[in-house]
Amino acid sequence: MEEGKINQNAVIVEIRAGVGGQEAALFSRDIFRMYSKYAQNSGWKLRILDANESELGGLKEVIFELKDGDVYSKMKYEAGVHRIQRIPETEKSGRVHTSTATVAVLPKPTHSEIRIRPEDLKTDYYRASGHGGQYVNKRETAVRITHMPSGLVVTCQTERSLQQNRENALAILEAKILEKKEIEEMGKLSSERKTQIGWAKRAEKIRTYNVPQNRLTDHRIKKSWHNLEEILEGKLDSVFKTLQKEEQIETQNN
């Protein structure tokens, strides 16, 4: 999909804990908090679609919608693997641990882009559970939707209402179907064209957060910032401006 056709006003962001167990889940929570603060300062609206907490209050996974602003033009740079280096609170010997989290940024489709036929969906309902496996609700309000033609499966259990969970799950599913379609289209393009587009792969390591040195490094443009504490508090403007400038230079050179 060409960027001009992408819905610039709304995205669905998916953060998943990667390597590092509990520490990775805490890092996922920190990234979510960073984006939440940036969204708040930018006047964007944030709505959590689904979340799965860890035992220590981290986030194994969180999926949320951002809208009402120049959302896509900023958030598109965030897709990929984020890595943090820090001494965990539970670490007795003061060793620095490395953990990762994966961020996916999915443009939210307009109704004309994705049409899902009801007969292509298999919907299951079950009771929502919290961390530790205990059931949060006695009623079956959690939703699992399978899109049979693509094999994509999404779940949602954040809301107390079955209908709201179903609506959230469908919003996630639509974005994932669009992403799958885009990846398939990308596969048909030449490698030169792919490089120019700069498709952000989920598996690509894009950034390192070095807490002991208060440094953020973006590996794509080989640049570092030495105000990591502020960045984690949502002050991302300098990062986004630099990435936008580098992208403009690259586009002009191509």
Lowest pLDDT segment from 1-10, 33-42, 156-165, 213-222: 1-10
What is 3-109+199-253's CATH number? 3.30.70.1660
**What average pLDDT score do residues 46-50 get?**
92
Among the four given CATH numbers 3.30.160.20, 3.90.1150.10, 3.90.650.10, 3.30.70.1110, the one describing domain 118-187: 3.30.160.20
Please list the residue range(s) of the chain that carry CATH number 3.30.160.20: 118-187
**What average pLDDT score do residues 9-21 get?**
92
Please list the residue range(s) of the chain that carry CATH number 3.30.70.1660: 3-109+199-253
pLDDT band at 194 (very low <50, low <70, confident <90, very high): very low
Residues 109, 110, 113, CA angle at the centre, nearest 5°?
A: 75
pLDDT band at 16 (very low <50, low <70, confident <90, very high): very high
**Predicted confidence (pLDDT) at residue 89 exceeds the cutoff of 90:** no
Contacts of residue 235, defined as CB under 8 A and 6 or more positions apart, other chains included, come to 38, 227
CA proximity to 157, closest of 146, 142, 169: 142
Contacts of residue 24, defined as CB under 8 A and 6 or more positions apart, other chains included, come to 17, 18, 58, 99, 100, 101
The pLDDT tens digits for 20-32 are: 999 999 999 999 9
The pLDDT tens digits for 216-245 are: 999 999 999 999 999 999 999 999 999 999
**Rounded to whole angstroms, how far apart are CA atoms 186 and 175?**
16
pTM of the model: 0.79
**Predicted confidence (pLDDT) at residue 116 exceeds the cutoff of 60:** yes
* C-beta of residue 158 within 8 angstroms of C-beta of residue 165: yes
- pLDDT at 28 (0 to 100): 97
Joined tokens for residue 17: 């804990």
